[in-house]
Structure 1
Amino acid sequence: MTEQIPHPMSPQDCLVAIMVAVSASDENIRTAELVKIEGAVNMLPVFAGYDIDRTRRVSQIVFDLFEQEDGLDALFGLIRDNLPERLNETAYALACDVAAADGALAESELRLLEEIRYELSIDRLHAAAIERGARARHTT
């Protein structure tokens, strides 16, 4: 059984969990992805006042869940329970940025992004705009 965080996951924990999940989805967490996650947590207003030390604990929960057969479903259950709907598009944008950070999208990352779109009920047109923005920001 996964060791629980001392208190329920905050919305920010959910955002971190989604970013870590995308990074880990191809079983190769790249430095560019870690830098993107750290930069988001350090710079974005949604993370104002967030305890950066929680990122390690949240990351461990994601890794533990990924080792379980229904871990992805459990992760999405935690996110649905703790992420306010108003942050769903923010979560998807962060996921896209992490996926694009290393300049290549693995098939597993694309599948996870598709699952995130579905689980967070991201409108297809909005998703396309978010994806296009991530592509534009990460073009070399």
Structure 2
Amino acid sequence: MPDTSSLSLSAQDCLVALMIAVSASDEDIRTAELVKIESALNLLPVFSGYDNDRVATISKTVFDLFEQEDGLDALFGLIREALPERLNETAYALACDVAAADGTLDEAELRLLEEIRYELNIDRLHAAAIERGARARHLT
């Protein structure tokens, strides 16, 4: 198992990790999802000053964890440690946007979104509003 004890994530790293995790959850990282992550990094105020070179490191960490039996739990442990509660809904919104980016939500993405909702303690009503917004933004 990768040594996550020495890995120190910033709040922004946590957001990136969740977006990558959602994209990779169905084992098929689509271009639309990568474009969504890149545009979030370039346009959203929460990523102001973020070193985009960290994306490769965070991606590798997520992929390494996904290869482990308890990797998702380890990822959520890292995120719980580093993500301020005030960014929980932001994290969920970004995850929903990545999931919706390619126009389809498969079972693996839906399960991971449910797990993110639970781990980040997102109120069900707030989650529904966030999900509806993501759906509306990605209609064709």
- The normalised TM-score by structure 1 is 0.97
Q: Distance in 1 between matches of 2:55 and 2:21?
A: 12
Cα deviation, 1:50-84, whole Å, max 9, x if unaligned, reads 00000010000000000000000000000000000
For 1:84-132, what per-residue CA distance to the aligned partner results, in whole angstroms no more than 9, with x for missing partners?
A: 0000000000000000000000100000000000000000000000000
Q: Determine helix, strand or coil for the equivalent of 2:49.
A: coil
- The amino acid across from 1:128 in the alignment is A
Gaps of 5+ in 2: none
Residue 42 of structure 2 is matched in structure 1 by: 42
Shift of 1:8: 1.2
2:12 paired residue number: 12
Distance 2:4 2:53 in 1: 15
- CA RMSD, Structure 1 to Structure 2 (Å): 1.3
| Match of residue 105 from structure 1 | 105
Could you say which residue in structure 2 is the equivalent of 1:114? 114
Structure 1 segments, 4+ long, off by >4 Å, are 3-7
Hey, what does 2:124 align to over in structure 1? 124
In the alignment, the residues of structure 1 paired with residue 125 and residue 39 of structure 2 have an alpha-carbon distance, to the nearest angstrom, of: 27
Matches of 1:3 and 1:36, distance apart in 2: 29
In 2, the alpha carbon distance for the partners of 1:49 and 1:97 equals 22
Deviation at 1:3, TM superposition (A): 5.4
- Deviation for aligned residue 1:2: 1.9
